[in-house]
Structure 1
């Protein structure tokens, strides 16, 4: 049911109508943010319980590669925002150009994350190494799945390159960015 259908029936979407893109994407975004929030909360509690284990685990991570990945993903979010702006202006070729750039940078994020995982696995680090790595792999793996889903969503909206779809896709993509911006310091930097 669309927002217009709900308006006609008197149910309305309230504040969701003011957000860019389809209101249902915001329901998904808020539920995903809640899930990531619970994961990060569990990570924080576990760190408080096992500070030495978490400190030892963080030393094993490649914060430089993760920092580079942060720049890549934020730049991808910027490209997605440029695509939304171009779509609102009705510039389909430019919209597609920016979406392809966002997707390519998203693909680079995935590749760098897999390189990071390969290094960790090559050193014998896995899900069962410690509570730190269990939560690290679950959190980053869940995020990586969302990056892949986001790339698919951007590819779907790139086909038509129309403003409502592009705004919906970029809203999801920005959620993926936001989650990583929160995860990066918590997992890699905060001791």
Structure 2
């Protein structure tokens, strides 16, 4: 099967940047996170006072900083694809390195938040709010780690399609956080 036939076999997914199989994964992840967000929102409506008390114990400034960190990281990843598309391979790798470094900054900030909560005696079993907080943010944190691994892989196997595939996943991780941050930290 030639490449043109293979692209047609993916239907609408063939028009998206990167490999269509990544988009199958991304769509699955978006649905999964969407269901988790819905669970959080419903639990918050049912246990409004508990969720308001839990939310008051979070640091929206750290969450906001992490939002800026991931948005900037996504921007660097997009610039890497643009650089690679015009043959600037070294610049693309440097930009991906910056995106990964910011991913590590995100992880460090999130771990700092977890340590602060643990030191205050708050954990996964504290109450419904914190159970969902740790599950949602922890699941996202695992995606940040996976995203960094994917970016490392496409840094070394840096065809334009690979870069588009890897950065598509990274942008999904950004998008999920952009929705998660206000849901968990701000909306009460």
TM-score after normalising by structure 2: 0.97
Cα distance in 2 for partners of 1:87, 1:57 equals: 45
Cα distance in 2 for partners of 1:74, 1:189 equals: 18
Task: Report how far residue 88 of structure 1 moved.
Answer: 1.1
Secondary structure, aligned partner of 2:163: helix
Q: 1:134 — aligned with what?
A: 131
Q: Kindly report which structure 2 residues correspond to 1:26-175, keeping only aligned pairs within 5 A, or say none.
A: 26-175=23-172
Cα distance in 1 for partners of 2:3, 2:14 equals: 7
Contact 1:127 1:137 in 2 (8 A): yes
Structure 1: state its 5+ residue gaps: none
Aligned residue pairs total 188
Secondary structure, aligned partner of 1:115: helix
Task: Report how far residue 171 of structure 1 moved.
Answer: 0.1
Q: 1:184 — aligned with what?
A: 181
Compared CA separation, residues 36 and 2, structure 1 to 2 (3 A): farther
Task: Report how far residue 6 of structure 1 moved.
Answer: 3.4
Secondary structure, aligned partner of 1:21: coil
* CA RMSD in angstroms, aligned pairs only: 1.4
Q: Cα deviations across residues 98-152 of structure 1 (Å, max 9, x unaligned)?
A: 0000000000000010001110111000011110000000000000000000000
Compared CA separation, residues 3 and 55, structure 1 to 2 (3 A): farther
